[in-house]
Amino acid sequence: MFALAVVGVMVGSSTSARAVSAFSLLSSPQSWIGGGEPVLVTDADGFSFSGVVDSGCVATFSINDFDGRSGRPVSSWWVLELATPGERPLTPGLYQEAKKYPFQGLAFPGLNVEGIGRGNSAVTGSFEVFELVAQPDGTILSFAADFLQFDEGIPDWWNRGSLRFNSARPLSFLPLPSVDPPSSSEPDLAPVGPGRSFPPTDPVPGDPPTVGSPGAPDPLPDPLPGSPPPLLGSGPAPNPVPGPLPVAAALMGWQVSRNLRRRCRATS
């Protein structure tokens, strides 16, 4: 398992801050974009980072390794788009109630995080810009921002991450490595659902209860007060329901009686 951690360390340096380009993404297992798979890529891994500010109000970043230098599949790419409400200049600050860019309208900030060939038709969320330095033509020289996106606006489908581009600001969200179970742990003999197991002799959840198991109905109803105890195995079953065997026996009896009547007529 991976955990969400707010940390204050620089990627690639633990003693002094230096400008790096990095992208981190944590997500819920239900998320369409992240799918619960933690992401941490940097320029040192061979990934290319590029960004531009359009009209001063929309920042668009591309993170990819189409050259294959990182060893990851060439499909490992992400796009981050951040827009201000009302087409105001993008400046450092917190932008809440964001909606899917570029369909957010003038009243809301725009947000779009997509990658690995996956995108959303609608999103909600927020983002915070910490640093933005750009040339007059819109080319971004340094940038730092954190974001929170809900795929299709569903709270359980969350994606949270950080983008740093030529920035010395520490990443806010880093995936923590999983902890291996102790070597003495017993193997899971009958796994049922994530992280759960049951001994083979126990009923599996979802199966109908058997007689005598917890939650199963009693084999016989409780007698009414003062009534004699039921006699097991005596008397006909109440309201017998015809089944394959009784029907077959009835057909056989009808055939035998028909043959007997024919013999009687032949001998008379």
Q: Report, as an integer, the average pLDDT of 159-175.
A: 93
Please give the residue range of the domain that contains residue 107. Answer: 21-175
Which of these, 51, 24, 13, lies nearest to 165 by C-alpha position?
51
Instruction: Indicate whether 91 belongs to any domain.
Output: yes
Strands 93-100, 110-115: pairing kind: parallel
79: left (phi over 0), alpha (psi -120 to 50) or beta: beta
Instruction: Indicate whether 244 belongs to any domain.
Output: no
Instruction: Indicate whether 38 belongs to any domain.
Output: yes
Q: If DSSP codes are grouped into helix, strand and coil, which group holds residue 114?
A: strand
Range with top average pLDDT, 162-171, 181-190, 217-226, 228-237: 162-171
Asked if pLDDT for residue 176 goes beyond 70, the answer is no
Instruction: Indicate whether 227 belongs to any domain.
Output: no
Instruction: Indicate whether 7 belongs to any domain.
Output: no
Instruction: Indicate whether 98 belongs to any domain.
Output: yes
Please give the Cα distance from 60 to 51 (Å, whole number). Answer: 6
pLDDT class of 211 with cuts at 50, 70, 90: very low
Asked if pLDDT for residue 87 goes beyond 50, the answer is yes
Query: pLDDT tens across 32-86, in order?
Result: 999 999 999 999 999 999 999 999 999 999 999 888 888 787 778 999 999 999 9
Instruction: Indicate whether 241 belongs to any domain.
Output: no
Instruction: Indicate whether 72 belongs to any domain.
Output: yes
How many domains are contained in the chain? 1
Residue 160's pLDDT is 97
Query: pLDDT tens across 88-138, in order?
Result: 999 999 999 999 999 999 999 999 999 988 999 999 999 999 999 999 999
